[in-house]
Amino acid sequence: MTETRTSENTAEFSVPFGDLKKAIRLAGFGVTTGQPPAIRGVVLDTEDGNLTLRTHNFEIVVSVPVPTAAVTRRGRTVLHYAELKACLDGAAAGEKPAAAARIPVTLSGEVLRTPDMDIPVLAYPIEEYPAPREAAGTLATVDGPTLLRQLDRVLPAAGDDETLPALTCVQLKLRRDGKLCLAATDRYRLACVEIPAQQVAETLPKYPQGLFPAKTLGSLLKLMGGYDGPAEFGADGSRVTLRLGGLEVTAYREGGLPLYESLIPKTFPVGLTYDREQLTRAAKKAEAILRAKHLKGGQSILSFAPDAGISLAPFLEPDQRSKVRAVEIPGKLAHGTPELLDGVQAAVNGKFLNEALAAFDGSTVTLQLPEADKDGRVTKPVLITEEGDTQNFRHLLMVVRITE
């Protein structure tokens, strides 16, 4: 690319390579390849005497402070994000990771400097960079590690169909009783959880909730692993802002999820408790066999016995079904009566079952079963819960209608 020099790019600072690299990766959430060209850049802002990286793509707005940077000139510089990232990596090429992290990096305007070399980076005029939309004010604080873990639990239930944009997001909603509720659904499963929150705003907006793209959250979780500080939450119905240790990420998405609480029955006639490790082991075997048979989106069959035991097997092609021997797992009747289990079967997506079980932390899980039809088929969703879970995590799994 041809370097664009402009006198408006005036920021100057020095910072360890490792710290700048991490900040650039975090800032990447807000970068786009769209128009105008300057929106493909990252703003390196030192106007207040501190270095902050800023990006936005009209839907995601990111602000990343770099506290270890020593500012030598106040100002702002806009550099092409992808080129800056690649040039920074190139400047550390041939170095061992530990040594690379300590390399002193200086940026003066659009020139990147290390002890070995100077590298010009494509720059844009400041005035061509569109102003980002504002973040939402903080409504409540929550424990950071708890928020990240609970987001990780609900993310698998989010959809990937961009024609249904609300379903590709996680909904975050602050309830009036001091709980931050997270939920995601792709129409075939629903995961929801509640986190204790401390309200800090005197009053709440009419809609203290919003949608956050699941893909962005997934990337955020990977980069923020190990974060142990507080988290701040803000929303007003059209935007959600999360703040973690100086990092600020805002998502703008209209709409919301259906009133999902109405989709979860308050009671179930039967509850069965199983060792989670044993159930997961069997579920993984079934899913692996489905993949081996090239049955994408295939089902696992759960067959229940009056003694609460369960048989779990992959649902194969008709000519092979009679030859399958299922994995047997003992269980315990949590509530209900044994006769409600006689001859009962449920078919669920094998992959979805494994993702649901992986989201639980305890040693046991409870399958809440609706009443089966006259043929012993479970035709309504199965709810998976965990006894003693203080976050009230629930995973509702749609069953699949099968024909023999």
Predicted local confidence at residue 365, as pLDDT: 97
Task: Report, at the CATH architecture level, how domain 266-397 is classified.
Answer: Roll (3.10)
Per-residue pLDDT tens for 304-358? 999 999 999 999 999 999 999 999 999 999 999 999 999 999 999 999 999 999 9
Predicted local confidence at residue 2, as pLDDT: 40
Per-residue pLDDT tens for 70-86? 999 999 999 999 999 99
Question: Which phi-psi region, left, alpha or beta, contains residue 10 (left: φ > 0; alpha: ψ -120 to 50)?
Answer: alpha
Indicate whether 267 pLDDT > 60.
yes
Indicate whether 1 pLDDT > 70.
no
Report field, pTM of the whole predicted structure over 0.75: yes
Predicted local confidence at residue 254, as pLDDT: 85
Indicate whether 3 pLDDT > 60.
no
Kindly list the domain boundaries of the chain, sorted by start residue: 12-128, 140-262, 266-397
For the chain, the average pLDDT equals 94
**Per-residue pLDDT averaged across 241-269, rounded?**
93
pLDDT band at residue 6 under the 50/70/90 scheme: very low
Indicate whether 255 pLDDT > 90.
no
pLDDT band at residue 184 under the 50/70/90 scheme: very high
Class of 12-128 in CATH: alpha beta
Residues of the chain above pLDDT 90, percent = 88
Indicate whether 193 pLDDT > 90.
yes
**Per-residue pLDDT averaged across 205-227, rounded?**
94
**Per-residue pLDDT averaged across 358-372, rounded?**
96
Predicted local confidence at residue 163, as pLDDT: 92
Task: State yes or no: cis peptide before 36, omega within 30 of 0.
Answer: yes
In our burial notation (b when 16+ CB lie closer than 10 A, e otherwise), range 215-241 reads: ebbeebbeebeebeeebbbbbbbebbb
Q: Let me know if the fold of 12-128 is the same as that of 140-262.
A: yes
What fold characterizes domain 140-262? DNA Polymerase III; Chain A, domain 2 (3.10.150)
Q: Strand (E) positions, 17-69?
A: 41-45, 51-56, 60-66
